[in-house]
Amino acid sequence: MGEFPAGLPHRRGGDRRPPARTASVPPRSRGTPRHYAALDLGTNNCRLLIARPQGDGFAVVDAFSRIVRLGEGLATTGRLSDAAIERTIAALRVCAEKLKRRNVTLARSVATEACRRASNGQAFMERVLAETGIHLDIISAEEEARLAVLGCHVLLEPGDGPALVFDIGGGSTELVLIDTATPVPTVRDWHSAPWGVVSLTESVGGVVGDDAARAAIYGRMRALVADSFAPFAARLPRFPARPDTPPRLLGTSGTVTTLASVHLGLERYDRAQVDGLIAPAAAMRRISQDLAGLSLPDRAALPCIGRERADLVVAGCAILEGILDLWPAERLGVADRGIREGILRRLMETA
């Protein structure tokens, strides 16, 4: 039950909405709809989602996403650069205007790895509050992992065996082993590795040069990822434990949604086709290896990658291959949802 042919992508619907936490409450006019907002400021992206309750879930009212590269240069300097701060504050001003215009009732704004690591992270957050009115909450890697699971677990394939959910970010990668026997998954174990698409690219260098040079750089990326995953890999269950409970795998991040777009041959990104896709793991591995072998201009010329992602996508491929090495799932679920949706579910549950 719940099995799909390995060669066929599959999308699933459905939306169960889990539990709960808080934020700030501006005044609301009587009779106006309740709007909730979740803002996720990562190492690479700034994302905002505004929604209203609808049935057991929510309807999106407004959204915003911009690549800001807040963590650019952080791996070498330990600080957020002036240019990165300016880009990010410009994006947060757009978010602040949307929050005001949509008369948001309850909001939570979180910052992740870049602000956790940066020596000037606190000063940056104080400036954000002063200039935009947005209060950023730096969350731990563990909470980041749990929010990602909360936001996307409904897209897991049906089954009784253990499942691994992962989030490849800009500055870190979160891996979460879950048990889906309960309506809201139980977290059995989790791991945060210090490599995301920005931090890994900056530490090793871009995948450039001739074929041999690109292969060598990609190999170094793969080795670093494997080393960082090793403690978690040693704790994972061994397969096959039971033939009727194959391992399930679900990823949320720009890396997996971008690779899914390549897998589908899309000319432009289409969330409706990507969110909930279940693709053969072997196909996603093959795409990862093919992208790593391309020159930067050739990667930039591909639809759904472009210049904005061409320099970082290979690090994401190396991280994804590391995950496929430690978790032998035949299929990979793809989620264009995660932390923001997890925050919204918590907010609406406690409101």
Q: Find the mean pLDDT for residues 94-110.
A: 96
Q: What is the pLDDT of residue 68?
A: 96
pLDDT at 21 exceeding the cut of 50 = no
Burial class (CB in 10 A: 0-12, 13-18, 19+), 83: exposed
Identify the band that residue 116 occupies on the pLDDT scale cut at 50, 70 and 90: very high
Residues 6+ apart with CB under 8 A from 166: 173, 174, 175, 176, 249, 250, 251, 252, 253, 323
**Is residue 317 a contact partner of residue 289, using CB atoms and an 8 Å limit?**
yes
pTM score of the predicted model: 0.86
Domain layout of the chain by residue ranges? 36-141+342-350, 155-339
Residue 23 has pLDDT above 80, yes or no: no
CATH code for the domain defined by 36-141+342-350: 3.30.420.40
pLDDT at res. 14: 36
Burial of 29 (0-12, 13-18, 19+ CB in 10 A): exposed
Give the side-chain half-sphere CA count within 13 A for 50.
Answer: 19
pLDDT for res 238: 79
Give the E-state strand segments of 200-327 in sequence order: 248-252, 278-280
Helix axes 339-350, 141-152, angle to 10 degrees: 80
Asked whether the predicted pLDDT for residue 274 surpasses 90, the reply is yes
Q: What is the pLDDT of residue 6?
A: 27
pLDDT above 60: residue 65 = yes
**199-222 pLDDT per residue, tens:** 999 999 877 789 999 999 999 999
Neighbours of 302 (CB within 10 A): 16
| Highest-confidence segment of 67-81, 173-187, 243-257 | 67-81
Model pLDDT, residue 20? 31
Burial 277-298 (b: 16+ CB within 10 A, else e): bbbbbebbbebbeebbebebee
**Of 2-16, 55-69, 311-325, which gets the smallest average pLDDT?**
2-16
Hey, do 36-141+342-350 and 155-339 end up sharing a CATH topology, with the first three levels equal? yes
**What CATH topology corresponds to 155-339?**
Nucleotidyltransferase; domain 5 (3.30.420)
pLDDT band at 243; cut points 50, 70, 90 = low
Residue of 66, 67, 84 whose CA lies nearest to 75? 84
Q: Is the pLDDT of residue 29 over 90?
A: no
pLDDT exceeds cutoff 60 at 3: no
* pLDDT above 50 for 125: yes
pLDDT at position 349: 87
